[in-house]
């Protein structure tokens, strides 16, 4: 690998850790009824969005491995779907941490599925507020986000807003 590729992979890995931190915050302590909350007749439920996030990271891994394949998984229960999201994040992170060659440009991987995931994490945060279960705002600049920490277990917030 070149130094440029190493740097791009490290930035992608930190980006995944950021998705895990922010995404985990939207999932933690959500009331049971949140999974099926629907903001409008044609809007996805939080459970459907969470399943899509898992799909995005499964697709991301297939792209990174040079074997692009989309899998549209049916949402299961909240906990199972969250576990799949984090498992797919972990699998992608492990691949990026390896010396295996990338099957695509790191820029394309970022601009496609990874950037899309931030949109969906934001949707979950907005839906929490609409469903009457808002999360506290946070200064993510000072958050303890660590490359490689891509599971549900995350550091406690350092600075939340009232």
Listed in sequence order, the residues at least 6 apart from 6 whose beta carbon sits closer than 8 Å to its beta carbon are none
Cα 45–Cα 50–Cα 55 angle in degrees, nearest 5: 125
pLDDT per residue as tens digits for the range 107-159: 999 999 999 999 999 999 999 999 999 999 999 999 999 999 999 999 999 99
Listed in sequence order, the residues at least 6 apart from 117 whose beta carbon sits closer than 8 Å to its beta carbon are 19, 23, 53, 56, 57
Domains of the chain plus CATH, in order, are 3-142 (1.20.120.450)
- Pairwise CA distance, residues 138 & 162, whole Å: 9
Of 17, 75, 22, the closest CA to residue 50 belongs to 75
Per-residue confidence at 2, pLDDT binned at 50, 70, 90?
Answer: low
**Is residue 86 pLDDT above 80, yes or no?**
yes
| Token pair belonging to 108 | 């394309």
């Amino acid at each position: 690998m070149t130094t440029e590729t190493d740097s791009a992979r490290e930035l992608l890995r930190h980006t995944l850790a950021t998705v895990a931190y922010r995404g985990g915050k939207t999932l933690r302590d959500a009331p049971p009824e949140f999974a099926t909350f629907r903001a409008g007749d044609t809007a996805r439920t939080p459970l459907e969005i969470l399943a899509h996030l898992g799909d995005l990271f499964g697709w991301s891994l297939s792209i990174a491995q040079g074997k692009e394949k989309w899998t549209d998984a049916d949402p299961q229960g909240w906990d199972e779907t969250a576990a799949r999201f984090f498992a797919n994040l972990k699998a992608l992170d492990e691949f990026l941490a390896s010396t295996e060659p990338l099957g695509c440009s790191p820029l394309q991987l970022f601009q496609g599925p990874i950037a899309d995931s931030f949109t969906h994490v934001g949707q979950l945060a907005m839906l929490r507020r609409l469903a009457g279960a808002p999360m506290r705002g946070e200064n993510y600049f000072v958050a303890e986000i660590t490359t490689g920490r891509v599971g549900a277990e995350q550091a406690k917030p350092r600075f939340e807003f009232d």
